Amino acid sequence: MAGYLRTEKRRNAKIWLTVLPSGRTVETSSGATLLEAIAVAGEAIAHRCGGRARCGECHVLVLRGWRGLSKPRQAERDRLARLRGAESLSRLACQAALGAHHKVIIKLYPIDQRI
């Protein structure tokens, strides 16, 4: 029972996401994707594949809170391997779900550097 309560608490936890370079910070719930949280922050980020990890346009760099995100799946790892400028802290915003960390900081790549 105690494990269930801890899990439920984490699932409903509030997460603070800061989007750079604008510096906008929004509060969101764990379980939301970075893409959803970026939209709540009022930032524009392309994602023509509809969140299926096919286009790579939503490539972001996670500066803080990396371990609190969902683990990258094979489709995301494959797409990141083909992206220019991808590095060890790169994620696709459509695939990364917010989890345990209460504060996450990401950097949006300029549009010409995302693909």
Domain of 37, CATH number, reads 3.10.20.30
pLDDT at residue 8 in the model: 43
What single letter denotes the amino acid at residue 84?
R
- The residue ranking higher by pLDDT, 115 or 79, is 79
pLDDT tens across 50-97, in order?
899 999 999 999 999 999 999 999 999 999 999 988 999 999 999 999
- The residue ranking higher by pLDDT, 105 or 7, is 105
Region 1-14 average pLDDT: 51
Q: Which residue from 7, 111, 86, 84 is spatially nearest to 72, judged by alpha carbons?
A: 86
DSSP string, 46-91: --TT-SSSSS-TTEEEEEE-GGGBPPPPHHHHHHHHHSTT--TTEE
pLDDT tens across 20-45, in order?
999 999 999 999 999 999 999 999 89
- Domain range spanning residue 26? 2-113
Positive or negative, the Cα torsion across 75, 80, 81, 82? positive
Is pLDDT at 9 greater than 60 in this prediction?
no
Region 85-112 average pLDDT: 89
Is pLDDT at 106 greater than 50 in this prediction?
yes
Give ∠ CA 50-32-115 in degrees, rounded to 5.
40
Based on the structure, what is the number of domains in the chain? Answer: 1
H or E segment and range at residue 63: strand 59-64
